[in-house]
Amino acid sequence: MLAGVGVYGVISYAVTRRTREIGIRVALGASRSSVVWLVIRESSILVIAGSAIGIPAALAATRMVKSFLYGVGSQDPMTIAIAALTLAAVAALASFIPARRATRVDPMIALRYE
């Protein structure tokens, strides 16, 4: 849940910062799906980078927490895969809300923003 809130906060902030750019894209004829894809792609890059760093770090840290793992091997691939996929699903859901909000940007308001 904490990871989902964090991803939502980062993506929401990025969408807010890019309001003018998104407004210009919509004014020039960008479709709603392309704006959604723009935001989803940005969050996907964050999730992939986080997983690429986090999974090896988790595997390296298993020696320290081995005594806390009851009934699970210290490097159980199924547990790691389920955790990574759950975080990816939470991140996708958390990034969908700002993506949907980005599609509703009125180009005139976005161009006058700031």
For 70-90, the pLDDT digits (tens) are 666 667 788 888 888 888 888
pLDDT, residue 6, reads 80
More confident residue, 30 or 68: 30
pTM above 0.75, yes or no: no
Query: Per-domain residue ranges for the chain?
Result: 2-112
The rounded distance, in Å, linking the Cα atoms of 10 and 24 is 22
Question: Radius of gyration of the chain from Cα atoms?
Answer: 18
CA angle 44, 96, 15 (to 5 degrees): 80
